[in-house]
Amino acid sequence: MRIVVVEDEIRIREGICNLIEKMFPNHQVIGSAENGEEGLKLILQENPDLIITDVRMPLMDGLTMLSLAYQNERKIKSKAIVLSAYAEFSYAQQAMRWGVSEYLIKPLVVGELVQAIKNIEKQNIEEGKQNPEVLGRLENIILGIIFGNIDLDENLCSYLEEKYEFRHNRPFGMVQIYLGSQYPDNISRVKKETEEFLSSGENIKYCLLELPKEKMLLGILYGYENQNDVERWFQNGVISKTPGEEIPDCSYGWINVANIKELKDSYYTLFKYMDWNISFGDKIMISYPKILQVRTSICIYPNDIETRLKAALCSFNKQSVLKCINSFNDYFDNGQLYDPKEIKESYVRFLWAMINVAKEIGALNHEQIEQQKILEKIMGAVNRKELMEVTEEIYNLLEKDEMQSEGQLSLNIKRAISMVTEYYHTGINLEEIAAKLNLTPEYLGMQFHKETGVKFSTYIKEYRIAKAKELLIGTELKIFEVAEKVGYSDAKYFSRVFREITGQLPGDYRMAHK
């Protein structure tokens, strides 16, 4: 259903819109208004399937708005849900004669609103069985078949043939045009250009549906004879565009549907194979069932790139990290064709290595990363651009782990931290740093603890172990060489301190991160 929400309280208005988007993905809030006057203009302009409105609002109340809409020459027949306070109950009763289907008492209960919308869905289905014109446009019927519970009875099939010349027992084409993150900015343009192209086809009728949740434009093509010819015509005309036209990159999929009863299954079947755009790129249209005949190469994970990435992270050279990421992205453009599932799994492995090493060396705040959401983005990707966007997102989070409060530290403590950074590998200690600052060790230690919240001995020990982690992951140095590099002359003592901090011996830690 196409829904309009009219409510003067912004918190309630936005809450209703968000609830509909979450609980009813097959419905669309096409507009909202904060008073009856704005609401009436919106209703007359959009002719929605459902109006959800408050009663008492500025400028014009909800009941007056509904009465004027229903009496307008446009013959608005929208269902309505009225939100009413207890004191307004009598007004809500009066509204029933204007076609109000449900009324709800404020404060609004989520479960009651959800049930009210479900009740209207059932009403539409029942009325639709008796009179398909209630469903309105062809777009609504197709959406109802794919995402709703519309039954294709004889009455509806006859209506489709008489009203739209859509024969229920004839094959037709379905095309999915996936825009991804470009959907909000480019859907109008892509739809317009697609309409212009389809209008040029001979004996081709079509219906285009905007699917915001799926971030795609869905096309239904019918009325023609030769399915293969039309598929080729679409491939050549829409996808094989000449350079310089500045048309947004989209991912395309095509399936020939045997009859309208197969519409829903065909939609989900094609969508399942849309991620083959990862393998082929956006200049090829994925065609089902032809895609089932494709032969792929075995995808060998690029361990050498991951090793270089770890080394770049450990030296915190962002330019080198970026080069490794670009090399990884380019790795799958080597002329071989890989299964998109294997490419996605490679991205998961690569990004998990980046995240884990970056966390270990303090270059990434673990609170910034929600790995479950990252995994969902990768496995739900339809094209290579989306995989690269996830990689770029993580790269942009990399930062040197410096104390957030460092700007508030005194000059002596800043200088002490700077000396630790510069001389940690020499085995420098509190007494030596205090002498360089012309302070007593006792005073420096007390002030360091007071300003940073950490004892100096703990700080320098954890700093050396952090540097040791970088060397263990990013180099092939022996354990005793790593110990010397971070200021420990005794390798056994270094191992004991390392285990105290990390819970692992250096050798075990290295094995765990290889």
Share of the chain above pLDDT 90, in %: 49
Amino acid at 290: K
What is the number of domains present in the chain?
A: 4
| Within-domain flag for 452 | yes
Which range (100-109, 304-313, 325-334) has the least confidence? 100-109
pLDDT of the residue at 403: 36
CA distance 417 to 448: 9
Amino acid letter for position 275:
D
Q: Tell me if 385 is assigned to some domain.
A: yes
Q: Is residue 220 part of a domain?
A: yes
Residues 262-293: pLDDT tens digits?
999 999 999 999 999 999 987 789 999 999 99
Strand pairing class (172-178; 50-54): unpaired
Q: What is the mean pLDDT of the chain?
A: 86
CATH at residue 95 = 3.40.50.2300
Residues 165 and 196 in one domain: yes
3-state SS track over 106-140: CCCCHHHHHHHHHHHHHHHHHHHHHCHHHHCCHHH
Both 118 and 156 in one domain: the answer is: no
Band the pLDDT of 144: cuts 50, 70, 90: confident
Residue 285: the pLDDT is: 92
CA distance 128 to 145: 12
CATH of the domain at 478: 1.10.10.60
Q: Is residue 401 part of a domain?
A: no
pLDDT bracket for residue 216 (50, 70, 90):
very high
Q: How far is CA 433 from the centre of its chain?
A: 50
> What is the pLDDT, as a whole number, of residue 302?
94
Residue 399: predicted pLDDT: 63
Residue 179 and residue 162 share a domain: yes
In-domain check, residue 505: yes
Quick one: 149 and 25 in the same domain? no
Adjacency order of strands within the sheet including 79-84:
28-33, 2-6, 50-54, 79-84, 100-105
Q: Residue 83: enclosing H or E segment and its boundaries?
A: strand 79-84
* Mean per-residue pLDDT, 82-107: 64
Q: What is the pLDDT of residue 7?
A: 93
- Residue 14: domain span: 2-130
Closest CA to 256 of 236, 282, 285: 285
pLDDT-wise least confident of 105-119, 164-178, 345-359, 380-394: 105-119
Mean pLDDT of 423-447: 93
Q: Is the pLDDT of residue 429 over 80?
A: yes
Is 442 within the bounds of a domain?
yes
**pLDDT recorded at residue 96:** 54
Q: Comparing C-alpha atoms, which of 68, 93, 89 is closest to residue 78?
A: 68
Residue with tokens 């989070």: 397
Residue 244's pLDDT is what? 43
Domain check: are 287 and 154 in the same one?
Answer: yes
Q: Of 87, 102, 130, which residue constitutes the final position of a domain?
A: 130
pLDDT in tens, 4-26: 999 999 999 999 999 998 899 88
Q: Kindly report, residue by residue over 463-495, the tens digit of the pLDDT.
A: 999 999 989 988 889 999 999 999 999 999 999
Residue by residue, DSSP assigns 365-380 as: -GGG--HHHHHHHHHT
- Whether 154 and 287 share a structural domain: yes
Q: What is the pLDDT of residues 197-213, one digit of tens each?
A: 999 888 899 999 999 98
Domain finish residue from 274, 293, 312: 293
pLDDT per position as a tens digit, 42-61: 999 999 989 999 988 989 98
Same domain (yes/no): 465, 374:
no
Confidence (pLDDT) at 290? 94
Of 240, 269, 293, the position where a domain reaches its end is 293
- Are 415 and 455 part of one and the same domain? yes
- Pairing of the two strands 205-211 and 216-222: antiparallel
